[in-house]
Amino acid sequence: MIHKTEAEEREYLNAVTQKLNNALEEIDNKVSGYTKDLQEQKNYLYENKSDMDHVEKNAVRQSVTTAALTGEAALERKKRIQKLLKSPYFGRFDFSENGNGQAFPVYVGVHAYFDEAEKANLIHDWRAPISTLFYDFENGPAYYETPDGRVDGIILLKRQYRIRNGKMEYMLESSLNIHDDILQKELSKASDDKMNHIVATIQRNQNAIIRNETSRELIIQGVAGSGKTSIALHRIAFLLYRFREDISSEDILILSPNKVFADYISNVLPELGEEKIPELGMEELAANLLDGKYRFQTFFQQVSALLEKNNEAFRERIQFKSTFGFVKKLNEYLAHIENNYFEPEMLMVKRNPVPVDYIEEHFRKWHRVPLFSRFNKVVEDIERDLLFYNNYEISGKERNELRKSVKNMFRITNLRALYKDFYEWLEMPEMLKMAAKSAYEYSDVFPLIFLKMKLEGAGSFSKVKHLLVDEMQDYTPVQYAVLARLFPCKKTILGDASQSVNTYSSSSSEEIAKVFPGADVMKLNKSYRSTYEIASFAQKIIPNTEMEAMERHGEEPAVIHCKNRAGELKLIQERIAAFKESEHHSLGIICKTQKQAAQIHNELSEEFPDAILLTEESAAFSGGVIVCSVHMSKGLEFDEVVVPGADAKNYHSSNDRSLFYIACTRAMHKLSITFVEEKSLFLNGE
Ligand SMILES: Nc1ncnc2c1ncn2[C@@H]1O[C@H](COP(=O)(O)OP(=O)(O)OP(=O)(O)O)[C@@H](O)[C@H]1O
């Protein structure tokens, strides 16, 4: 066996580092060569421009572009090698193909490195077909799939390394699973400002999700902290590698819940050597689809209104619009207006009559075309037939008048009016109510878009080749119906039914799968984020028999009864002071509502002016002391979390239960919960 002992491994690491350094030097030389070349060619072009014909100029220009591109590619390679130099690889396995006894070591890293001199891959990209063996198998028989078929063999040795800044911190023989010491060590670290890549410790079931190539829609239901978001981003990195000829980063779209979350995850793909992925919020998408013409409440405002005002009718409106039955009703209404709202009349074009029957027949003929596009189709038919049968050519003015007349035969063609009419048709006009400043309520936004799309045709997101939807539980059937039409591409949809900020309109993986009949649903039940104690504590709030807590131990969550509000504030201040002395990087103070968060932030601001309040407008995530509402904390994690106001009065409804669960599961290492009067029943496991 090669590099058997730890000393040999260290020597090997030095040798690899040397090679990487040499490669870097070579690139530097080449790049300065390209730059010189480029400058010379540019000078040449400039000095001889007047003597050149356009063919010559084009040739020089083209060669300048090629040189620049080669230079860029070299710089890209340089960046990768620099990254590898810090940590060339994290794993190794010795694989004997067909078990013929001859085993060769495969070192796995964030990128591949091909050694020209040896004509061999010194480091394999973690996404390469062979690298899956590292995640999928222990010592013994193993196989992997390649585009050319299955390769069988035996793994004779498996090792993991922690190499930082070019130094090997430790090396572990792992005859067992990867769920071992390295994962424990990784998880007990203090957080960073941004989500990190986890390629060294991807678990087997996570690997299966990342490398899934076949699902059209892959729905990932995972408990809090099970790695859904991390895995989805690694899946994107995998797809970009596996299908690099067909998909590039700009062909992918992430639908993200807010800018803070988008910023929090923004690091993962660049860390893995991929470009940043375009990202869009649901509200931005909605505004775009409604051509920016409609004012509407945001999801954040909807949730705030739900929590801050006890308005039964508002809840009912939301609930009503969050079912499959509602989408069905919208479709029934569309059929109803199609059958009943078109009232054709005879038209005269100069002295040529166009009979009612003709118009009716041609309107029906175009039934495959969106309703509002049919008017022009009918006019085109009239124009063609007048020419053919009556030898009459209509003028531009007549065409415009015809269009207007045919459109007017439809009883309502204004989207707002139609949407209102829909509720009248339902005999439930009370279900439509405008929010403040005559904006639509959030629950009306996607039904409106649904109608608009059906009436006018779908928008243009056909360029997107893969869509990633996070926090899937927060979207309703009508939103999924819109997404399904808008994005016919493959999708990864992920979330957790237990983590809804608005249980009146949440969707489970089973419900979402109904919109996408061919979808595969995969589950992640192991929680990695929180200590065993925190995960078990959260289990009492929303029990889930499938949830498995990671055996990483820490302090028991503290539930503290404070004498009064002042006492509660004092306690929070003490926690902040202790946090500042600790090795931890982030402390989240998570309140039920935005109002409560703003109040606590205000109260803390004198003593801790650096505490940050997250609002709907926030665009960045950083470490330190963060005060926020549960809604804003979604998807994020903190070394320590304080949940103030855990009183029975504050947390009591089923929606509150979900919010309380989300708040507690943001904590990685330490959780404190405070209350003043009577503690919430959720703390008694009720
Ligand atoms: N295989 C793994 N190795 C190391 N860390 C992991 C692994 N899987 C998950 N984690 C860590 O667990 C934490 C939670 O991951 P992530 O935020 O992706 O989970 P999630 O399921 O999206 O969480 P939530 O739904 O609660 O927001 C992160 O710190 C992530 O790095």
Q: Which of 142, 177, 212 is the last residue of a domain?
A: 177
**Whether residues 26 and 171 fall in one domain:** yes
454 is in an annotated binding site: no
Q: Output the CA 52–ligand 1 centroid distance in Å.
A: 61
Q: How far is CA 99 from CA 69, 142, 322, in A?
A: 44, 10, 56
Going by pLDDT thresholds of 50, 70 and 90, the confidence category of residue 682 is very high
The residue contributing the CA closest to ligand 1 atom 7 is: 227
Residues 6+ apart with CB under 8 A from 343: 409, 410, 411
Query: In this predicted structure, what is the pLDDT of residue 30?
Result: 79
Can you give the CATH number for the domain in which 561 is found?
Answer: 3.40.50.300
SS3 54: helix
Report whether pLDDT(534) > 70: yes
DSSP notation for 436-479: GGGPBPHHHHHHHHHHHHHHH---S-TT-SEEEE-SGGGS-HHH
Among 49-63, 136-150, 456-470, 524-538, name the one with the lowest average pLDDT.
Answer: 49-63
Instruction: For residue range 451-483, list pLDDT tens digits in order.
Output: 999 999 877 688 999 999 999 999 999 999 999
Atom in ligand 1 nearest the alpha carbon of residue 528: 12
Does residue 322 lie within any of the structural domains?
A: no
Q: Is the ipTM of this complex over 0.95?
A: yes
Q: Output the CA 515–ligand 1 centroid distance in Å.
A: 27
Does residue 421 lie within any of the structural domains?
A: no
Q: Output the CA 225–ligand 1 centroid distance in Å.
A: 5
Average pLDDT, the chain: 91
Instruction: For residue range 84-122, list pLDDT tens digits in order.
Output: 999 999 999 999 998 777 888 999 999 999 998 888 899
Does residue 272 lie within any of the structural domains?
A: no
Q: How far is CA 500 from the centre of its chain?
A: 16
Report whether pLDDT(588) > 90: yes
Structurally, how many domains does the chain consist of?
A: 3
CA-to-CA distance for 665 and 248, rounded, in angstroms?
34
Separate counts of helices (H) and strands (E) for the chain:
24, 23
Does residue 205 lie within any of the structural domains?
A: no
Query: In this predicted structure, what is the pLDDT of residue 71?
Result: 73
226 is in an annotated binding site: yes
Q: Residues 37-57: what's their mean pLDDT?
A: 73
Does residue 48 lie within any of the structural domains?
A: yes
222 is in an annotated binding site: yes
Q: Output the CA 413–ligand 1 centroid distance in Å.
A: 48
Q: Residues 678-682: what's their mean pLDDT?
A: 92
**In contact, 406 and 379? CB cutoff 8 Å:** yes
| Residue range of the domain that includes 614 | 539-683
Does residue 297 lie within any of the structural domains?
A: no
pTM of structure: 0.90
Instruction: For residue range 418-434, list pLDDT tens digits in order.
Output: 999 999 999 999 999 99
Does residue 229 lie within any of the structural domains?
A: no
Report whether pLDDT(491) > 80: yes
SS3 91: strand
Does residue 302 lie within any of the structural domains?
A: no
Q: Which of 136, 155, 177 is the last residue of a domain?
A: 177
| Cα three-residue angle 217-221-226, rounded to 5 degrees | 125
Q: Residues 251-257: what's their mean pLDDT?
A: 94
Instruction: For residue range 369-423, list pLDDT tens digits in order.
Output: 999 999 999 999 999 999 999 999 999 999 999 999 999 999 999 999 999 999 9
Q: Which of 136, 159, 177 is the last residue of a domain?
A: 177
Report whether pLDDT(176) > 60: no
Query: In this predicted structure, what is the pLDDT of residue 349?
Result: 92
Query: In this predicted structure, what is the pLDDT of residue 3?
Result: 73
Query: In this predicted structure, what is the pLDDT of residue 346?
Result: 95
**In contact, 479 and 473? CB cutoff 8 Å:** no
